[in-house]
Structure formats: C-alpha cells, structure tokens
Amino acid sequence: MRGIAMAQLGEHARARGLLQRAARSFGSHEALARARCVVAEAEVALAMRDIQGTVHPLLDAAQTLTVHLDHANALLAQLIAVRRQLLLGRLDAAAQLLQQLDLTDMPPVPVAVAELAAAELALRSLRIGVAQAALARALTAARRAGVPALLAEVQELHATLDRPAARRVNARGDTPLRLREVAQLLASGALVVDACRRGLRFTQHEPAAQAAAQYSLARRPVLFELARGLAEAWPGDVDRESLIARVFRTRHPDETHRARLRVEIGRLRALVKTLARVDATPRGFVLAALGDREVVLLVPPIDGEQGSLLALLSDGAPWSTSALALALGESQRTVQRALAELEAQRRVRAIGQARTRRWLSPPLAGFTTILLLPAGLPFA
C-alpha cells in the first residue's frame, strides 16, 4: 500500500523499491499477492521509462492472475506489456499480445487503454482506417469511464491524424503531409526515398495483386545520403561535386573522393536495380524509377539528425540514457552525444545526476512524430 501511495505521489523510485520488497516478502504459497506486486512494479517502471529486461515475468504474473480469476489485473499486466513493446518499436510483438486480450465484460478503463494501444499500433503501421475505428471505440469507452485524463489522451491521439507527419520535398519546395496522405503516397506506385525511416519503398500495382519492395538504408548512411540527394533533385541530375560535398562532407574534393563516389554509386545501383536506375550524365548522376514512375522524397516534420530522439522525448516522460538507447537501437555513447547537442541547443533538459539522470523535452506542438518513432515504418 505504501508503494502504491508513493507512485500516486510521483515518487516512482521509492514506490518501485517498496513494491519490489513487498514481492520478495510474499512466500511461494502467496502467488496471487506476489503477482499483483509484479504488475504494480512493472507499471511504475513503465512510468519511469525503465524498459530494460523482458516481458516474461509480467506475462507469467498475468497467467498467475488469470488462474486465480483476477482477470482485471491480468488484463492490466498484458496492457503494460503491450505498451512496453510499443515503446521499443516491436510492433509485431505488440500486435501478437493485443490479439490475445479478452476484453469481454471488462470495465471501460482497461478497454479504452487497450483500444488506444491498438490505435497507436495501427498508426505506426500507417493503417489509418483501422486506427480510426480503434479510436472511436476508445472514445466510447473513455466517455463511459468518465476519467478526464483518459479522455484527453484519446483526443490527443485522434488529433495526430490532422497534424503534419512528414514533408514531401522536391525541386519546387516542400509540402506538409498528414498521416493519411503519407499512406496514400506510399501506396501510389511512386519510388519513395523515406528520410523518416531511412529507406526506399516502392509499391507496384498489378491487375491480380499488389507487390511492395522495401529496402532499409538505416545502417548504410552513405548510400542513403546519395539516394536522398538524387531524389531531392529529381527529375534533374546532381553534379558530382555537390554529391561529394553532401556525402563525404568535404569542400575540397580530390581524385580519391571522385573514385569513392563511383564505388558508392555502383553499390547504390546494385541495391536498387529492381526499383530504379542511377544513370550518369555529363555533369553528374540522375535517379530514374523503372517504368517512368515518379520519385518522391519524404522527410521528417523537423530537421536534424535527432528527430527520433526528440520524438521519444516529446511524450513528456523522463527518459534515462540507457532506455533511449534501447528504444532507438543505438549505443549509449551515440545517444549521449546527441543529447549533449540538443541540450546545448536548449531543446532538451536533464534532471538528476549520474545514474538517476533523466532527460525531458517539451511536447512538440503543431505536428505529429508518429513516423519518427522506432519502427514507425518497418522495412522488410
């Protein structure tokens, strides 16, 4: 009870310690009480954005609660596991857990939370119709529950549908796109160079079926910068000096840079040969999609390399460096450097010291960061 009270007062660290101690105090014959402590501690850990470890203890606790007919707490445990997987960008695992939920005869609060999770999962996968249906069910449940904070959360997620989620860039400028427009663009048959998820996507419409080809360049930054530079200039070409300056970050190219550019262009050609051609021109190179289709560059709503980091921090919760690194799939050192740059720009702030240090950012108003979240647009 002290642990729950501390959590309600916002003393999450003390609450977690008390709940862990309570769980250890219950014997093997008190499995129900121990499982409830595990679920409560997991909810506090989620509030603290401590997402290390696995969900197996939480799912084991849910099984124990189900056996003892405590279905409400079992559902809570499963929902915490779903939210944790969503934070980590593990969309397939979150979807699998959601399919196992039984919301029959459940109170409106957990029903609303479950539908919110389903809506977020659909938005992250750009299934807009599915997301709208889940949001409608969540809104109905939230109104029945009469909890203002829950109703506000549903309305906030619904508002993301009408906010810019990305920008379409070409030689004439850039155009803001909402999530529905992004989904339509990705299904349009154009070759999309996606700077939100750092990859290439192409949907081919055939009479009998629809085939999609996707390539991730998240771990091949040179090839991605080449593709982005060529897509930005489409349908025109890009001169060699501009590509060298963009990709290799040098203002004084020499023959070694030109030789390396030829090598990297060859690698890009080999990678996208089923989607597009990279042709040489007298002054440089041009990207041309197969079948004379359009080439589109999709960029995040905010500029800079730290877009995904800001997207995670924009939920207003305090994040540790290790949790951010885990969610982004990067090393802690890489995340620390990015946070230091953002702190110098006064875009994030830190509280606490050493191991208790947490990072915060004000909410990013005016647009949604759905496409910047981990695995927001998964690639095969």
Which two tokens mark 97?
């857990």
**Pair type for strands 295-299 and 191-194:** parallel
Q: What is the pLDDT of residues 221-279, one digit of tens each?
A: 889 899 999 999 888 899 999 999 988 888 787 889 889 999 999 999 998 888 889 99
> Are the C-beta atoms of residues 367 and 302 closer than 8 Å to each other?
yes
pLDDT attached to residue 206: 54
Q: Is the pLDDT of residue 16 over 60?
A: yes
Q: What's the total number of domains in the chain?
A: 3
Residue 114: what pLDDT?
92
Q: In this structure, are 172 and 144 located in the same domain?
A: no
Q: Which residues of 153-164 are buried (b: 16+ CB within 10 A; e: fewer)?
A: bbeebbebbebb
Using the 3D structure, point to which of 120, 138, 162 is the last residue of a domain. Answer: 162
The structure's pTM equals: 0.77
Euclidean distance between CA atoms 44 and 48, whole angstroms: 6
pLDDT in tens, 270-287: 988 888 899 999 999 999
- 370 within a domain of the structure (yes/no): no
Q: How far is CA 92 from CA 86, 231, 319, in A?
A: 9, 31, 24
Q: Which residues contact 72 (CB under 8 A, 6 or more apart)?
A: 106, 107, 110
Question: Which residues in 115-137 are b (16+ Cβ under 10 Å) and which e?
Answer: bbbbbbbbbbbbebeebeebbeb
Tell me what the pLDDT averaged over the chain comes to.
83
Are residues 154 and 265 both part of a single domain?
A: no
Q: Are residues 130 and 244 in the same domain?
A: no
CB 247 within 8 A of CB 268: no
Report CA dihedral (44, 366, 132, 294) to the nearest 10 degrees. -120
For residue 344, the enclosing domain spans 307-363
Domain check: are 196 and 264 in the same one?
A: yes
Secondary structure element (H or E) that encloses residue 212, with its range: strand 210-216
What pLDDT was estimated at residue 261?
92
CATH of the domain at 96: 1.25.40
For the cut 90, the answer to whether the pLDDT of residue 165 exceeds it is no
Looking at the fold, whether 22 and 151 belong to one and the same domain comes out as: yes
* pLDDT per residue as tens digits for the range 105-159: 888 998 999 999 999 889 888 899 999 999 999 999 999 999 898 899 899 888 8
Residues 329 and 313 in one domain: yes
Together in a domain, 316 and 172: no
Domain assignment of residue 377, yes or no = no
